[in-house]
Amino acid sequence: MDLSLYFVTGRELLPPGKALQGGVTAVQIREKNSDTLEFLDIARQSKILCMKYNVPLIINDRIDIALAVQANGVHLGQTDMPVHVAKTLLPTGMVIGVSCNNMDHVRKAIEDGVDYIGIGAVWGTTTKELTNPIIGVRGVGSLLQALDGTFIKAVAIGGITSSTVLRTLHGSVSPSGHRLDGIAVVSQIAASATPRSAAQRLKDSFEAWVHGFDVQNQTVQVYDVETIKNGVVELLQVIRDKNPLIHQITNVVVTNQSANATLALGASPIMATASEEMHDLSRIPGALLINFGTITDKDSMILAGKYANEAQKPVVFDPVGVGATQFRKTTASELLNTWQASVIKGNPGEMAALANSKEVQAKGVDSVGSGFADPASFIRELARKERCVAVMTGPTDWVSDGTTVIKLDNGRKILGDITGSGCLVGTCVATFCAGASLLATALGTNPGTESEKLVRGNMLIGAVGGVLALTVAAECAAERIDVHGSGTFLPALIDELYNLKPDTLLSRAKVHVL
């Protein structure tokens, strides 16, 4: 059964079946406020319509109605008839689907041997009053992992629209690579004035994404040190030639020095925070940095990331001090559930907090302790889980895209003596990712085949470039005879970014590919 575009509806399906013409692949009739006779009548007519389009019909909750109209299956909520009882009433071959909101539900569904699960609500929804918590795309991803090795299909439901569909699909993948088999929607189709094109749009998004997902999983890029170093130098040139706009919503401590570092690299900073301007800024080529060292602009952070995803621009997330307070933790979750980060950057304490690992503890915004026993595996797993490039800074910096791990050994201890050196890494990473995005666009990567992606360009090289630029410039600055301490180090660091030469980068960069 093809669940790729699963339309959950009631009488709205009738009469002309416009949604079916738009490519709906399965229909569920869900009538919460009608009498049995009325429900039966809607189900009968729906059955005729679905047969005409050769689409399976599933009945919500009512086993008797499903039997009466010879539907293809039933969908059962957690408070409906238990699956094992339903199985005694239904003929073999009838599909059974179950709504799941948490891991206990999923485990039970597997035990019961259902055919598919509907995971929700992935976003908020106005269609039904939710009695369970909203899961978020990352939550859906972790539930999907439990289905590894089973034949049970999974769809996500709740608040899926043309503007959330890509984020839903992209984010709802388990660390093991288990993806959704489809999306289930109500209002995006049912409440649309043009249900046929609403369905068509969702279907197109799904198909493009599945195609991209498969291609991505089949092509593993193998990196060597030279390719990486040359890639970084190329990006520095792109930045200086094209001056991308680096929109930064960052903290009050580092705003000025971050803007100066951006300029020094050859890009243009804008430190805008008003939510009213987030959409306009997303249309200008470049990248977005979200650093929540001081969280006063949460709504703008949410909007900016969403728009950047829509514009296929890199989003670099620096969750400063995420382990320090519950508010930071829930905010990080909320942000990452709303948009897809291209790169997440943090110190070991922050990365541990994001991964819910107890191995490294955080104190305030600084990490304490020496780090992870196996940083390479940790960073690879985190990148895989968050579906982005992960950067962990420290005396040694670690960068991974979930497959390749790159270890970088540049920098000087004095970086730890100025405030916001980590934030500067985030700024430089955003700047180089902007370079990577512009390079991909200039190379004319066909937008048609890239439309399923949330970002263009090689974010791994971008992340490595940002880290290298800052740490190599720090080495040059620390070695200057006019630098006597942290006070003279900071302006020297900006100078060295300003004067950074490709040859210096190439000769100093200590890059190891694992």
Q: Is 215 left (phi over 0), alpha (psi -120 to 50) or beta?
A: alpha
State the residue number with the nearest CB to ligand 3NM. 120
Helix (H, G, I), strand (E, B) or coil at 75: strand
**Spatial contact of 430 and 249, defined as CB atoms under 8 Å apart:** no
| Residues 6 or more apart whose Cβ sits within 8 Å of residue 262 | 246, 248, 268, 269, 427, 431
When asked if residue 457 is in the footprint of ligand 3NM (CB under 6 A), the reply is: no
Q: Which two tokens stand for residue 129?
A: 């009053």
Question: Taking the chain, what is the end-to-end CA distance rounded to the nearest angstrom?
Answer: 42
Closest C-alpha to 75, from 145, 146, 8, 19: 8
Provide the CB-side half-sphere exposure for 215 (13 A, CA). 10
Instruction: Answer with the entry of Mg ion, ligand 3NM, none that 258 interacts with (C-beta below 5 to 8 A by kind).
Output: none
**Span interacting with ligand 3NM, options 157-165, 166-174, 399-407, 429-437, rule CB under 6 A:** 157-165
What does 502 bind: Mg ion, ligand 3NM, none (CB cut-off 5 to 8 Å by kind)? none
Q: For ligand 3NM, which is the closer residue by CB, 145 or 161? A: 161
Interaction pattern, residues 411-450, with Mg ion; x per rule: CB under 5 A: ----------------------------------------
Tell whether residue 344 is a contact of ligand 3NM (CB under 6 A): no
Comparison of 43 and 287: residue with beta carbon closer to ligand 3NM: 43
- Those residues whose C-beta lies under 8 Å from the C-beta of residue 226, and which sit 6 or more positions away, are none
Which residues neighbour 217 within 8 Å (Cβ) at sequence distance 6 or greater? 177
**Window contacting Mg ion (CB under 5 A); options: 14-22, 53-61, 332-340, 489-497:** 53-61
Distance CA 336, CA 340 (A): 6
Of the two residues 186 and 505, which places its CB atom closer to ligand 3NM in the complex?
186
The contact mask relative to ligand 3NM for 8-37 (x = CB under 6 A, - = no) is x-----------------------------
Q: Peptide bond before 121: cis, by omega within 30 degrees of 0?
A: yes
Query: From Mg ion, ligand 3NM, none, which one binds at residue 471 (CB under 5 to 8 Å depending on kind)?
Result: none
Identified binder of ligand 3NM from the candidate list 73, 120, 141, 422, rule CB under 6 A: 120
Q: How far apart, in whole angstroms, are the C-alpha atoms of residue 70 and residue 87?
A: 15
The site partner of 98 among ligand 3NM, Mg ion, none (C-beta below 5 to 8 Å per kind) is none
Instruction: Please list the residues that pair with 153 across neighbouring strands.
Output: 116
Q: How far is the CB of 155 from ligand 3NM (least distance, A)?
A: 10
The answer to whether residue 77 forms part of the interface with Mg ion (CB under 5 A) is yes
Q: Nearest to residue 466, comparing CAs of 432, 497, 420?
A: 432
Q: Three-state DSSP class for 271?
A: coil
Residue with Cβ nearer Mg ion (80 or 277): 80
Under the binding rule (CB under 5 A), the answer on residue 61 touching Mg ion is: yes
The CB-based long-range contact list for 275-278 (8 Å cut-off, 24+ gap) reads 275/299, 275/300, 275/303, 278/303, 278/304, 278/307
| 157 touches ligand 3NM by CB under 6 A | yes
Closer residue to ligand 3NM (CB): 147 or 344: 147
Cβ of residue 159: shortest distance to ligand 3NM, in angstroms? Answer: 4
CB closer to Mg ion out of 61 and 496 = 61
Phi, psi of 304 (to 5 degrees): -60, -45
Q: What tokens were used for 485?
A: 């301490």
Beta carbon nearer to Mg ion, 80 or 234: 80
Contacts of 204 (CB under 8 A, 6+ apart): none
Best CA proximity match to 324, nearest among 364, 293, 369, 354: 364
Q: 169-228: which residues touch ligand 3NM (CB under 6 A)?
A: 185-188
Nearest distance from C-beta of residue 147 to ligand 3NM, angstroms: 17
CB of 8 to ligand 3NM, least distance (A): 5
31 binds Mg ion (CB under 5 A): no
Vertex 314 angle, CA 309 and 319, to 5°? 95
* Residue whose C-alpha is closest to residue 342's, from 320, 322, 313, 321: 313
As measured in angstroms, the least distance from the Cβ of 136 to ligand 3NM is 12
115 CB neighbour count, 10 Å cutoff: 17
Task: Please choose which of ligand 3NM, Mg ion, none residue 127 contacts, taking the beta carbon within 5 to 8 angstroms, the exact cut-off set by kind.
Answer: ligand 3NM
**Residue nearest Mg ion (C-beta atom):** 77
Q: Token pair for residue 307?
A: 């728009």
CB-CB neighbours of 45 under 10 Å: 17
Q: Is 99 in the site for ligand 3NM (CB under 6 A)?
A: yes
- The active-site residue, picked from 100, 388, 423, 476, is 423
Asked about 433 being catalytic, the answer comes back as no
Judged by beta carbon distances under 5 to 8 A according to partner kind, the member of ligand 3NM, Mg ion, none in contact with residue 61 is Mg ion
Q: How far is the CB of 454 from ligand 3NM (least distance, A)?
A: 21
Binding mask 111-140 for Mg ion (x = CB under 5 A): ------------------------------
- Binding site partner of 187, from ligand 3NM, Mg ion, none, Cβ cut-off 5-8 A by kind: ligand 3NM
List phi, psi (to 5°) of 152: -75, 130
Residues in contact with Mg ion by the rule CB under 5 A:
61, 77, 80
Catalytic residue positions, numbered: 423
Residues in contact with ligand 3NM by the rule CB under 6 A:
8, 99, 118, 120-121, 125, 127-128, 157-160, 185-188
